[in-house]
Chain A
Amino acid sequence: MENRWIAYLIPPFIVTLLLVAGSQFVFIQNSFYQDLGLGRTGTDLTLVNYLKFFTDSFYLKTFWITIKVSAIAALLTLFLGFPIAYVVARMKSKLAMFLLAGIVVSTFVTIVIKVFGLIIIFSADGVINKTLLNLGLIERAYSIIGTQEGVVIGLMHFTIGFSVLLLYSVVVTVPPSLEYAAQIHGASRLRVYQRVIIPLCAPGFVVGGLMIFNMCMGAFTSAALLGGGRVLTLPVLVQRTVMMEVKYSTAASIAFVLLVSVILINLFSLIAIRRLRSARLVVA
């Protein structure tokens, strides 16, 4: 019986392995040839592209900006996503499912359309600028395009739908009875958050936060459109290096640096899950 099911596994595994290994191997190999510009490459394997990446301040700055905007966006996304996840998870009516359905639809709509909406909202005579100007909080209209704040807002829109669904799956693992038990024993609501909800959700938050951070690190579309060529992140740099400078092996080396960083963060979050789980077992 057992062998029969392995036979099902083999053809799809071969196809997937070919696609994964084939595509990744080719660009990783390309990244080790010297870039001669205009799509031409050298013939000897060398580390010159990587040396350039890690010594050129332009690349290092881009790397740093990518990490910075991703981290800020991930934290803010968790902050906005948690209340929705918590309220929906504790809701007893059918409304909860509709609220979640709204989130799911928002994850389906391509980020380009959402960036359109953001640009209209933040346009010179849009809602936000008019209000701020009337209140006298700003002197000139604020532009969202080409600023790091704009990129952060774009990255948040890219990840928030996913993060609500993720946090929802974390909150439903904490039974409401634990909250009641704490309150019966005299804990205030604030204390219930401090000592019950937050500690029990913390492992999920850490892992979820790392996943969202990872998504932001790899996010291209929102960063490209809202960065407007002035704020560059690694994914935007990869696309521009291919499309504008036609430097394939340089682009491949940047892409490989991005890939390795993302995989390292994934490994780190796997270790974090293990540690947090074992820590929780000790407490419980």
Chain B
Amino acid sequence: MQTWTEKVILFVWCGFSYVFLLSPMVVVMGASLHGGEFSAAIKFPPDEPSFQWYSKIPTEQFEALALSLLVAAVATFIAALIAIPAALGLVRSNFKLKFAITSVFRAPLQIPAIVSGIAFLQLYYLIFDTSGLMLAGTIPGMLLGHVFIATPFLFGTIVAVLQRFDHRLEEASYSLGAGRWRTLYRVTLPTIMPGIYSGGLYAFMVSFADVPMSIFLTAPGFVTYPVELFYAMENDFDPSILASSSIVIVFCLAMLLVVQKVVGLETLLRSGGGSAR
């Protein structure tokens, strides 16, 4: 049993860690309610709370948000199309070099995103030099990069779910007369669905939050939301950024709640970030 001194120490230590972890987000949301005139010194807590900056979010930020959502959603979908058959094929088959194949699928996690960013940019320049097709600054170019960084998260969670899969379910399906495809659609896929949902959530969020990869693949007028924020911070600073950031924080919370309703928090955490990396 834990003694009281130990409980107090752990409580204070934990409390400090949580304050450290969550305070920046709380402060951004609080400061977004900044009332009064524009000032470079943004205050927390705000003096006269108001929602005025929420109506002053410039359209570029909404456009960037829309692009980010689109790229993250499509990239997650394509990543799922790659990761689901890959995980099925890898877990179910038995051959030498399995380890090597797994490392190829997990490789994008080992490569720092900034390295992948410059790698894709130079790949696009090479494609441009040979075929005249410019992928940097276009949606397909951006998508390819995001699929690259998002796939391992789906792959990791689906492999984890498949390794716990009860094969008798499929045998029962076969013995009841269902064919291969029917078994795949009616038994196998529904069973691994929680893994797909939670892996998909991680993949979506990794793509949605990415700066180092996207920063090389943007073009004027074609900027994802985190990169837009990144540049805004390096240049001019306006409280409307805090307002749109607060919307994004609430969106992230909402996404977690939705997926939690579908698959449950435990599945989400068990298959989560830790195992994917």
Q: Which residues of A contact B (CB under 8 A)?
A: 2-13, 15-17, 19-20, 22-24, 26-27, 30, 80-81, 83-84, 86-87, 97-98, 100-121, 123-127, 156-157, 160-162, 164-166, 168-169, 183, 189, 211, 217-221, 224-225, 235, 238-239, 242, 248, 251-252, 255-256, 258-259, 262-263, 266
CB distance from A40 to the nearest CB of B (A): 12
Minimum CB distance partner of A261 in chain B: B112
Inter-chain contacts of A86 with B (CB < 8 A): 10
Cβ 8 A contact of A5, one of B24, B88, B117, B225: B88
Cβ 8 A contact of B1, one of A13, A118, A183: A183
Cβ 8 A contact of B253, one of A105, A119, A218: A105
Interface check B176, CB cutoff 8 A: no
In the complex, the answer to whether A97 meets B266 with C-beta atoms within 8 Å is: yes
Pair count A-B, CB < 8 A: 269
Cβ 8 A contact of A9, one of B13, B28, B101, B268: B101
Given that A84-B14, A117-B24, A220-B212 are contacting pairs, would A20 and B113 also be in contact in the complex, using a CB cutoff of 8 Å? Answer: no
Given that A84-B18, A110-B248 are contacting pairs, would A27 and B122 also be in contact in the complex, using a CB cutoff of 8 Å? Answer: yes
What are 27 A-B pairs with beta-carbon distances under 8 A?
Answer: A9-B85, A9-B86, A9-B93, A12-B81, A12-B105, A13-B104, A16-B107, A23-B119, A26-B123, A103-B21, A104-B256, A104-B273, A110-B226, A110-B248, A113-B25, A116-B229, A117-B28, A120-B42, A124-B41, A160-B21, A161-B21, A218-B111, A221-B212, A239-B117, A248-B125, A252-B122, A256-B115
| Cα(A178)–Cα(B224), bound, Å | 50
Inter-chain contacts of B205 with A (CB < 8 A): 107-108
Minimum CB distance partner of B226 in chain A: A110
In the complex, the answer to whether B44 meets A165 with C-beta atoms within 8 Å is: no
In the complex, the answer to whether B255 meets A108 with C-beta atoms within 8 Å is: yes
In the complex, the answer to whether B22 meets A2 with C-beta atoms within 8 Å is: no
| Cα(A262)–Cα(B123), bound, Å | 22
Flag B232-271 by CB within 8 Å of A: 1 or 0 each. Answer: 0110000001100100110011011000100001101100
Q: Which residues of chain B from 18 to 46 have a CB within 8 Å of any chain A CB?
A: 18, 20-28, 31, 41-44
| Cα(A5)–Cα(B98), bound, Å | 13
